[in-house]
Chain A
Amino acid sequence: MQKDELRVENVSKCWKDFELRDVTMSVREGEHFIILGPTGVGKTVLLEIIAGILPPDSGRVVFRGKDVTDEPPERRGFVYIPQNYALFPHMTVFSNVAYGLKIRGVPKQEIERRVREVAEVLGIDHLLHRKPKTLSGGEQQRVAIARALVVEPPLILMDEPFANLDVQTRGRLIGEMKRWRRELGFTAIHVTHSFEEAISLGDRVGVMLRGRLVQVGAIREVFSKPSSEEVARFLGFENVIEGVASGRRLRVNGLEIELPEEASGRIRVGLRPEDIILSEEPLRSSARNEFRAVVESVEELGPLVRVTLRAGGVTLRAFVTRSSMVELGIEKGRELYASFKASALHVF
């Protein structure tokens, strides 16, 4: 296993409307670590504490075994890329990218060479003479990343790097970031609220809810096995069903649900809405839980439709495509069959 590069130990901080509580995490060398959480939970505050911009109220930041909690940002050397990129507006793109090298007293020719090198990888070599305000959002983001990577920092801290971009640019740049990482190699902490970014870029993820880092682990593990109902809900398990289990059966308000594993006592299970199948006739498959359900409401979400159903005493939320909605004649009051595999259930 790789060594921990950075450890955040029991960091707490009250800052404006944000509160971080007892955050502990570690980042390994070469890793792309995602801090995932809804907006306004203090992810940026955590990033600024790691960068050295804000001091924590308590707790420590340890880098390569050395406590850096009291070191100023310039002594830590982690490069911060804020959400608005913070390009220096009074300098050209070249001077922006060269800034960190100039501070380090790198000779002029070497600066020139290294800036051009990184600019080429990031595809901004034709923009070097421009001022930042003349650039598009995607170009600005590339410049911000070039400015960070050119100093070869041990760690870069990215705050919602793709949030200000349109959908197409975002998709393209997420793909490119994988390539930049292969070509230039860096360790990153990446704050986002987007599952897409987390899944496509992250090695490990820390889920942050209400100022706490509630679960840390490999991306797939966290997404398939959320550690609590709260994390499950945030990660898209819209159905959380509570009941009394015995063996592989869960009894809930008159329904009997088959579980993927044995359990006992009062438990909760999570179920993603996309794992529920709606049909007019029973599917008659033994591996499935199947219930008669009545449609309570229909909510259109663009290409998908969220259907809320009532099966016995349980409310279920399911996603169907718009065409299935029309095909099945889904509307309020319609009676259907809702089915899902036992293996789609996640027991907390």
Chain B
Amino acid sequence: MRRDYTLYFFAAMGTFLVVYIILPIATMYVRQASDWGMLVKTLHDPVVRAAIRRSLVTATATALIALTFGVPLGYVLARKDFPGKSMVQAIIDVPIVIPHSVVGIMLLVTFSSRILDSYKGIIAAMLFVSMSFTVNSARDGFLAVDEKLEHVARTLGASRLRAFFGIALPMALPNIASGAVMTWARAMSEVGSILIVAYYPMTAQVLILEYFNNYGLRASRPIAVIMITLSLVIFLTLRWMVGRWARAEG
């Protein structure tokens, strides 16, 4: 068989991007390995621990809120045509294109002291920048469920709500779950808007910046390493679980 050189060439080009992602992560681990003492010290730093706990709790809360409101919205977008639907779709995607510092300013201007420097503020900022993932993947998940299944369920006596919980939701769940994982990961990685809305209570993202400004690279790097390890482990585990589950359902 003749080799397909076009594909090889394209693969070589694409490798650049993959390497570009892996290189900084790997470098950071390698550098940190030569500074083991600092990592251990950071791991025992109560300020760091509290900050990481705050990040995990707020990101998880954000994902749950996104699910609560995003799943119903996704269902409506998948099932109903209404005037202004494409407008709503566009609005859902808006947070992705707004600079995150601008998000912070907008939230502060709108809700001012009600969210300033509070957990509410952290979650508000995280939710704004990350809920699109949940809404969009819930919508795609429901779109992939044949509407006839719900129709049949209803002719068999199920109310619309019952058909939703019994048929549409379980079938769209793998999609919804992977959207929620994306929302969670996006929330974990948010910093720009949180800096403006809620510098305190300090999340790990902000703490890294503070240590960098006050004590330099050597002090901030261990927190970054811990943060990225946690994020990657949780993100990859969830993704793997969702993927396995989706295949089992499929």
**Which A residues fall within an 8 A CB radius of B?**
48, 51-53, 72-74, 76-82, 84, 86, 88-90, 99-100, 103-104, 147-148, 151, 157
Contacts and interface: CB of A to CB of B under 8 A. Distances in A.
Contacts of B153: 88, 99
A92 to B, nearest CB: 13
A189 to B, nearest CB: 12
A53 B157 CA distance: 13
A99 B157 CA distance: 9
Contact of B154 (A53, A84, A90, A104): A53
A53 B156 CA distance: 12
Contacts of A86: 146, 148-149, 151-152
B45 interface: no
A285 B158 CA distance: 66
Nearest to A73: B154
A99 B163 CA distance: 11
A84 B152 CA distance: 11
A276 to B, nearest CB: 44
Contact of B160 (A72, A78, A82): A72
Counting contact residues on chain B (CB < 8 A from A), the size range is: 10 to 19
A89 B158 CA distance: 17
A88 B149 contact: yes
Given A90-B170, A103-B162, A148-B156, 8 more contacts: A72-B154, A72-B159, A77-B157, A78-B155, A79-B152, A90-B171, A99-B153, A99-B166
Interface in B55-70: none
Contacts of B171: 89-90
A74 B155 CA distance: 5
B219 interface: no
B14 to A, nearest CB: 35
Interface in B149-195: 149, 151-160, 162, 166-167, 170-171
Contacts of B4: none
A104 B157 CA distance: 7
Nearest to B173: A90
Q: Which of B149, B154, B160, B166 has the most CB of A within 10 A?
A: B154
A104 to B, nearest CB: 6
Contacts of B156: 74, 79, 99-100, 103, 147-148, 151
A103 B151 contact: no
B176 to A, nearest CB: 14
B162 A48 contact: no
A76 B166 CA distance: 20
Contacts of A76: 155
B179 to A, nearest CB: 19
Contacts of A100: 156-157
A232 B201 CA distance: 82
Contact of B157 (A74, A88, A90): A74
Nearest to B152: A86
A48 B155 CA distance: 10
Nearest to A83: B148
A74 B154 contact: yes
Contacts of B167: 88
B137 to A, nearest CB: 18
Contact of B159 (A74, A81, A89, A99): A74
Contacts of A78: 155
Nearest to B162: A103
A319 B56 CA distance: 78
A76 B159 CA distance: 12
A81 B249 CA distance: 23
B82 to A, nearest CB: 16
A82 B155 CA distance: 11
- Which 4 residue pairs across A and B have the least CB separation, nearest first? A100-B156, A73-B154, A80-B155, A103-B157
A84 B148 contact: yes
A70 to B, nearest CB: 15
A84 B149 CA distance: 10
A331 B106 CA distance: 84
A72 B159 CA distance: 9
A51 B146 contact: no
Nearest to A89: B171
A80 B162 contact: no
Interface in B18-61: none
B157 A52 contact: no
Counting chain A CB atoms within 10 Å of each CB, the highest count among B156, B160, B249 belongs to B156
Contacts of B162: 103
A90 B249 contact: yes
A147 B160 CA distance: 19
A80 B157 contact: no
16 contacts: A51-B151, A51-B155, A73-B151, A74-B156, A74-B158, A81-B152, A82-B151, A82-B152, A84-B146, A86-B148, A86-B151, A90-B170, A90-B171, A103-B157, A151-B157, A157-B155
